[in-house]
Chains A and B, each alone.
Chain A
Amino acid sequence: MKKAKEGWKELEDGGRIIVAGNSVLYKTGDWRTNRPVWDESKCTQCMICWLTCPDSSIPAKDKKRIETDFDHCKGCGICAEVCPVKCIKMKPETDFQ
């Protein structure tokens, strides 16, 4: 069940947000019409896709990119476009339903 929104007495003064980066709770993955499909075997781990993802949706771990964060990836296709070895292909989201 979705939590009811707070009443005015429960809110912080001044409308401030005190949980840094809590936007992660908001899923933008359902905006996606095309999904980036990453072929790890071809990936050279150059990290360009990690750096240029506008949605911080290509997580990095131990200096390597890992699977796309599909909860947030909006499917813009920049990662596929910038990939120098073309190991990311954009496929219609309908293919995955």
Chain B
Amino acid sequence: MNTQELKKAQALSGAEAVAHAMRQIDPDVVPAYPITPQTDIMHAFAKFVSDGKVTGELICVESEHSAMSACVGASGAGARVMTATSANGLALMWEIVYIAASLRLPIVMSVVNRALSGPINIHCDHSDSMGCRDSGWMQMYAENNQEAYEQTIFSMKFAERAKIPIMTCMDGFITSHAVEPVILFDDAKVKAFIGDYRGDWPLLDVDKPVTMGPLDLFDYYFEHKRKQSEGIYLAKNIFNEVAEEFDRTFGTKIDVVEKYFFDDADTVIVAMSSTCGTAKVTIDKMRKEGKKVGLLKIRLFRPFPSWELRQILKGKKIVAVLDRSESFGAFGGPLFTEIRSAMYEEKGPKIVNYIFGLGGREIDAGMIERVFTEIDAYKTNEIKEYVKYLGVRG
């Protein structure tokens, strides 16, 4: 942000910024249940409700399972629906998370990423949202408060046009609780951008009775799943359409990925969320030292931009993929396996994985610099270990 922009900015935590996005969107129904570190979103939103700044209803349900159940009901009824959760809350929703996607209900859920138990831990990692990467929901990850805010508004339109629910993720505490300057868009502009919503075949259209969620056996289930799969595949085009409209309205670009000192870099890191901020600081320093290092930030994780990444990464020599979650028993973390798979037909680059930051473990510029230095050596040296753990005591 430049000085002029800073004058327009407000000091907001990531959670407050998202609550402001919710206020501006003014969803019809918000069923939610408290869990750290998501709670700050709901505190701020509840205050907006109490102050009469929104017209929708907050349902303070008795569990996250009921939160997602009520989301499905309200969205099926034809309402615009949002919620928020973290970690164990998302895990408790699990069954209904899949159902929401299969019914093609465009719910927007803010996931404030937190480590999944056990042992219980309240700090950031991505094990919660990564666990449901196959649920049929779309997923976006925000680097900072501004992005968390913008992404929430973007997601509402994206989800409704794609008819697919979306998790809009930010790092627990790091983003949700840290206060940063955030520039809010004009309320009326957001309203105009979001537009009116009317679901297909809403339950409340009693003159056109619909049956939602029937028993689907071996003769149709597979076809329904195939159709769902096509839906999320085609959502990539919708992403671009909505991004174009977003840019036109707010003058802000949202892309599936963001490149930082990337094009001329031969040694790159691929990462998501707040770690990208740390990586950028590191790159600034290393660039001054003449090192050709760069970053590729992934914003859209579902649908995964495999084809785009293949084009973007194919000329690189060495890539380190940073995963803030473990995929136990797999060959590396979820982002790593996706990227390795996307690059399979290409001759390069070499790709290694670093699992880091579990349960809120600190990642700093020094650690990222060590990653760059370490992988730089792989340009000539043989890679002995593809999956490494960064920042864990030996």
Q: Quick check: which of B120-128, B216-224, B320-328, B333-341 contacts chain A, the rest being far away?
A: B216-224
A9→B227 contact, CB < 8 A: yes
B218 to chain A, nearest CB (A): 11
B212→A11 contact, CB < 8 A: no
B200→A13 contact, CB < 8 A: yes
- Bound CA span A20–B105, Å: 20
A15→B220 contact, CB < 8 A: yes
Residues in A whose Cβ lies below 8 Å from that of B212: 14-16
Known: A13-B163, A13-B227, A15-B103. A20 touches B220 (CB 8 A): no
Known: A5-B219, A11-B220. A17 touches B211 (CB 8 A): yes
B155 to chain A, nearest CB (A): 19
Q: Which of A5, A14, A16 gathers most chain B CB within 10 Å?
A: A14
Looking at chain B's contact residues, is the secondary structure mostly helix, strand, loop, or mixed? loop
B209→A20 contact, CB < 8 A: yes
Check if B80 is an interface residue, CB within 8 A of chain A.
no
Residues in B whose Cβ lies below 8 Å from that of A12: 201
A17→B224 contact, CB < 8 A: no
Check if A24 is an interface residue, CB within 8 A of chain B.
no
23 A-B contacts, Cβ less than 8 Å apart?
A5-B220, A6-B223, A7-B223, A8-B223, A8-B226, A8-B227, A8-B230, A11-B220, A11-B223, A11-B224, A11-B227, A13-B163, A13-B200, A13-B227, A13-B231, A15-B102, A15-B103, A15-B213, A16-B201, A16-B211, A16-B214, A17-B214, A18-B211
B202 to chain A, nearest CB (A): 11
Residues in A whose Cβ lies below 8 Å from that of B230: 8
Q: Which of B103, B213, B227 gathers most chain A CB within 10 Å?
A: B227
B-side residues, CB < 8 A to A, are: 102-105, 163, 200-201, 208-214, 216, 219-220, 222-224, 226-227, 230-231
B364 to chain A, nearest CB (A): 45
- Bound CA span A14–B208, Å: 16
A44 to chain B, nearest CB (A): 34
Residues in B whose Cβ lies below 8 Å from that of A6: 223
Residues in B whose Cβ lies below 8 Å from that of A20: 209-211
A5 to chain B, nearest CB (A): 6
- Bound CA span A8–B220, Å: 8
- Bound CA span A14–B167, Å: 19
- Bound CA span A5–B222, Å: 12
A32-54 CB contacts (< 8 Å) to partner B: none
- Bound CA span A18–B227, Å: 17
Residues in A whose Cβ lies below 8 Å from that of B102: 14-15
- Additional 20 contacts, C-beta under 8 A, given A7-B223, A16-B212: A5-B220, A8-B223, A8-B230, A11-B220, A11-B223, A13-B104, A13-B200, A13-B227, A14-B103, A14-B104, A14-B105, A15-B214, A15-B224, A16-B211, A17-B210, A17-B211, A17-B214, A18-B201, A20-B209, A20-B210
